Amino acid sequence: MADQARNVAILGSTGSIGCRTLDVIRASGGRLCARALTAHRRLDALVRQAVEHRPRWVIATDERLASAHDWRGLPAGTDLLVGADRLPEVVQHAEIEVVVAAIVGSAGLTGTWAATEAGKTVALANKETLVVAGPLVMELARRQGATILPIDSEHSAVFQCLQAGRRQDVRRLILTASGGPFREHSIEQLARVTVPEALAHPTWQMGPKITVDSATMMNKALEVIEARWLFDMRADQVDVVIHPQSVVHSMVEFRDGSVVAQMSPPDMRLPIQYALTYPERWDSTYTQLDITRPWCLEFFPVDLERFPALTLGLEVARRGGTTGAVLNAANEAAVARFLAGQLGFHEIVPACQSVLQHHDFDPTPSLAELWRLDAWAREEVSRWVCP
């Protein structure tokens, strides 16, 4: 069995998506194999994962932490590589078939880019890759014959719904949003949100950055941009609806008005497994929908006044160019400042908006220019004070 296994590299294996991916690999009965694992900070967890999965490579991307770490627990047969610049050679290695992009933030772009350049199958959780450089990454994938399959639950849902019809018959995509923990908060209550409150999401267990993004609804803004590039839609073809139960993961409306939805209990292992087995579907042991009990699904429009992040997302999806890289980096820096107690919850989106308004817009930037703006936007947010 083992010699037929699909070889998987997991970039960011110690994170929420990385750990769920290893759950899927563990449950695959040898049909999937973790050949490469990477981590930034939790190096003990990386060693434990290596002991269980016996990958050929582990990469510790933070060089300073890696050099201070005791690596004696690493199993024989696993090579240790240090530094983010070692990601490309591993993801491009002939042995690797699928690359799970599960690093958080624009730091995930390097590995995703390298995998795409080598024509691999990329199972994409790192939505920031497409927010920062959507047109460049999709063009690279076309040129190199790479396949990008979504892990993000909404995009996995859209990807599944699109299989019900022809692309030219799609009218619009409808992304669902849980609305996060503050769905019913007033503007005054939003101004008083604390870090522990923002880190407690009602339906999903996720890393800290995306949990805060879900609370501000910046996550949905980033997902609108991700959907625009991944599915080659116009910005006005991507809509968002609040759906607190997180059972309908998204929908596609066709030109005749028929709407196809994908439903399942909120569990990231399902979209991860689908991305790793596509076009096949495998059995799963995860919680299934129980329709023997009374249940109800609710849908509400988004309140853009209380959640202005979405307006920024729609603007960026419309303008493209350098706006995605600037919005993403500004948001990463603002969330970091919020988590450090330096910025109010309600200041995250205004900080992003201010930096977005003041940047030098370029409609067709190079990758190098996007990286320059990523650094610039972080610097701007580090100095930003609420007017």
Could you list the residues that contact ligand NAD (CB under 6 A)?
12-18, 39-41, 61, 84, 102-104, 107-108, 125-128, 152, 204, 206-207, 210, 268
Closest approach, Cβ 42 to ligand NAD, in A, equals: 6
Instruction: Give 28 or 110: the residue with its C-beta nearer to ligand NAD.
Output: 110
What type of residue is 217?
A: M
CA-CA distance, 322 to 317, in Å (whole number)? 11
**Cα angle for residues 89, 15, 185 (degrees, 5° grid):** 135
Binding-site partner at residue 114 among Mg ion, ligand NAD, none, CB < 5 to 8 Å by type: none
Taking a C-beta distance cutoff of 8 angstroms, is the pair 138, 147 a contact? no
Binding-site partner at residue 14 among ligand NAD, Mg ion, none, CB < 5 to 8 Å by type: ligand NAD
- Which residues lie below 8 Å from residue 278, measured CB to CB, with a gap of 6+? 149
Closest approach, Cβ 133 to ligand NAD, in A, equals: 14
216 Cα distance to chain centroid: 16
CA-CA distance, 369 to 367, in Å (whole number)? 5
Token digits of residue 7: 């070889």
Binding-site partner at residue 204 among ligand NAD, Mg ion, none, CB < 5 to 8 Å by type: ligand NAD
What does the radius of gyration of the chain's CA atoms come to, in whole angstroms?
A: 20
Token digits of residue 74: 């690493």
> Phi-psi region for residue 7, left (φ > 0), alpha (ψ -120 to 50) or beta?
beta
Instruction: Give 165 or 208: the residue with its C-beta nearer to ligand NAD.
Output: 208
Taking a C-beta distance cutoff of 8 angstroms, is the pair 8, 121 a contact? no
Closest approach, Cβ 46 to ligand NAD, in A, equals: 8
Closest approach, Cβ 40 to ligand NAD, in A, equals: 3
Q: Which residues bind Mg ion (CB under 5 A)?
A: 152-154
Host H or E run for residue 379:
helix 367-383
Binding-site partner at residue 55 among ligand NAD, Mg ion, none, CB < 5 to 8 Å by type: none
CB closest to ligand NAD, residue no: 15
Token digits of residue 257: 């008005």
Closest approach, Cβ 106 to ligand NAD, in A, equals: 9
CA-CA distance, 223 to 345, in Å (whole number)? 20
Sign of CA dihedral 194, 198, 199, 201: positive
Closest approach, Cβ 156 to Mg ion, in A, equals: 9
Instruction: Give 148 or 381: the residue with its C-beta nearer to Mg ion.
Output: 148
Q: Helix or strand or coil: residue 37?
A: strand
What type of residue is 169?
A: D
Closest approach, Cβ 150 to ligand NAD, in A, equals: 9
Binding-site partner at residue 226 among Mg ion, ligand NAD, none, CB < 5 to 8 Å by type: none
Instruction: Give 125 or 170: the residue with its C-beta nearer to ligand NAD.
Output: 125
Instruction: Give 143 or 349: the residue with its C-beta nearer to ligand NAD.
Output: 349
Binding-site partner at residue 84 among Mg ion, ligand NAD, none, CB < 5 to 8 Å by type: ligand NAD
Binding-site partner at residue 126 among Mg ion, ligand NAD, none, CB < 5 to 8 Å by type: ligand NAD
Q: In residues, how long is the chain?
A: 387
Closest approach, Cβ 160 to Mg ion, in A, equals: 14
Instruction: Give 19 or 162: the residue with its C-beta nearer to ligand NAD.
Output: 19
What type of residue is 334?
A: A
Burial category of 324 from C-beta neighbours within 10 Å (exposed 0-12, middle 13-18, buried 19 and up): buried
Closest approach, Cβ 103 to Mg ion, in A, equals: 16
Instruction: Give 102 or 140: the residue with its C-beta nearer to ligand NAD.
Output: 102
Question: 150: closest CA among 257, 54, 272?
Answer: 272
Question: 91: closest CA among 2, 5, 149, 10?
Answer: 10
CB closest to Mg ion, residue no: 152
CA-CA distance, 142 to 227, in Å (whole number)? 17
Binding-site partner at residue 308 among ligand NAD, Mg ion, none, CB < 5 to 8 Å by type: none
Instruction: Give 17 or 276: the residue with its C-beta nearer to ligand NAD.
Output: 17
Instruction: Give 152 or 332: the residue with its C-beta nearer to Mg ion.
Output: 152
Closest approach, Cβ 15 to ligand NAD, in A, equals: 2
Instruction: Give 40 or 69: the residue with its C-beta nearer to ligand NAD.
Output: 40
